[in-house]
Amino acid sequence: MSSCSSSNNDTMSSTANSFGTDLEFLKKHQQTLVLTAPDDDSAQVALVGALQGRVMTSTANGTSGNSYGWLNYKLLESGKFTPHMSAFGGEDRFWIGPEGGQFSIYFQQGKKFVFDDWQVPTVIDSEPFDLVSSDKTKAVFRKAASLINYSGTKFDVVIDRSVEALSKIAIETTINFPLKDVKTVAYETVNSITNQGPDWNKETGLLSIWILGMFNPTPQTTVVVPFVGGADHKSKINDSYFGKVPAERLIVEDSVLYFKADGKHRSKIGLPPSIAKPVMGSYDSEKGVLTIITYDLDPTGDYVNSMWEIQKEPFKGDAANSYNDGPVEDGTQMGPFYELESSSPAKALKKGETLTHRSRTYHFEGDKMALNAVARRMLGVSLEEIAKH
């Protein structure tokens, strides 16, 4: 999530809707593609090419099942784009970093790092991606774009993005666990940027791929982020994006953190690549939904810094983030939703070279013992441990 956003507090959202209700609404307002798992028609993924090939929502249980992605009903219904950012929602959207600093693509040269001057580039906010191909399980999108950063560097790129619904067999193989009493939906997005212009270099700025997912919060939803333990590793976790996160909302243990995702207090955390692990997730004990995100990670890579300031270390940013929405100073709120986010490292691409970032989103529901086994396997903690935080 950006470092500053607000909207009217009467914004309708999809927090309590079924997938069928959300899908019917989406089809009224956007041309919507529905992918299904090759071996399970009840595992469905809804995406919109006009919104940058964005995964809007998904379900493990067909039209009557839970809808996992947060949708901004009011904005989608309006059909309009809004200043600064058009927050339509969706559980996997394609963005590009960095957000702040001298190499930002969200602030024009000479502008101040304040919300009034912040603008999401149109290519990742209001322009459609072209649908290259699609079938029952997969859709492929492409977009050519030019971007100019705060330092005046121009980037000519081609963006390629694919979304593929995964089979239950593929999911079981990945997690090495049979899902006998569990309903699941999972999809992979493969996201690439190819340099079409002059060679890039760190002195004038680089780009990274940034994947963000907006999900529906409940009072019983907790984000879980495992990390590499170590003597000083806790101190590397950034919880100061919007002022320090209150202690009761962020519990940091030796190698895992728990972050409250109730959509009631605006806060954000980030982990650098040196301590991040290529997995994070959340558990909603109210609905019994376990969500897991896995993503490409380079522990020694250069990750862009998105803090809103001229930076001493523009390539010492986060690889993984989570945002919890909440009211801003004037009492308005965009959501409620929470986000799970991952980024690629930035690379000095020569002309014709490509940077790729893969992200997988899994949702699990069903037998609690089986869900507990999945949580332990993928996050290293039990559902009981998550729920008590």
Give pLDDT tens digits for 336-353. Answer: 999 999 999 999 999 999
CATH value of 85-388 in 2.70.98, 3.30.2120, 2.40.50, 3.40.50:
2.70.98
Tell me what the mean pLDDT of segment 146-150 comes to.
Answer: 97
What residues contact residue 25 under an 8 Å CB cut-off, 6+ apart?
A: 14, 17, 71, 73, 76, 77
Residue 36 confidence (pLDDT) above 80: yes
Which residue is listed with tokens 């650098």?
Answer: 272
| Residue linked to tokens 């809804």 | 46
**Side-chain half-sphere of 361: how many Cα atoms within 13 Å?**
32
Closest CA to 69 of 36, 124, 129, 22: 22
Write out pLDDT tens, residues 251-307. 999 999 999 999 999 999 999 999 999 999 999 998 999 999 999 999 999 999 988
Amino acid at 108: Q
Cα pseudo-dihedral 227, 342, 68, 161, rounded to 10: -150
Q: How far is C-alpha 99 from the geometric centre of its chain's CA atoms? A: 15
Give strand ranges (E) for 216-288.
221-226, 250-252, 256-260, 267-271, 279-284
Q: In what order do the strands lie in the sheet with 54-59?
A: 32-37, 40-48, 54-59
| Angle between helix 368-379 and 168-175 (nearest 10) | 60
The pair of structure tokens assigned to 80 is 């309009």
Please state the rounded mean pLDDT for residues 105-133. 95
The pLDDT assigned to 332 comes to 82
> Could you give the C-alpha distances from 63 to 24, 139, 311, in angstroms and in order?
10, 21, 47
- Write down the pTM of the prediction: 0.94
Query: Domain extents for the chain?
Result: 85-388
Predicted confidence band at 11 (pLDDT cuts at 50, 70, 90)?
very low
Nearest to 320 by CA among 301, 348, 334: 301
- Residue 289 has, within 13 A of its CA and on its CB side, a CA count of 25
Which residue from 95, 3, 98, 52 is spatially nearest to 346, judged by alpha carbons?
A: 98
Strands 267-271, 256-260: pairing kind: unpaired
Half-sphere exposure of residue 71, counting CA atoms within 13 Å on the CB side? 30
What pLDDT, on the 0 to 100 scale, is given for residue 4?
Answer: 44
Contacts of 110 (CB under 8 A, 6+ apart): none
DSSP 36: E
Letter for the amino acid at 187?
A: Y
The DSSP bridge partners found for residue 13 are 72
Mean pLDDT over each residue of the chain, to the nearest integer: 93
- The CA distances from residue 338 to 89, 197, 267, 355, in Å, are 10, 36, 10, 27
Could you tell me if 256 and 228 are in contact, meaning their C-beta atoms sit under 8 angstroms apart?
Answer: no
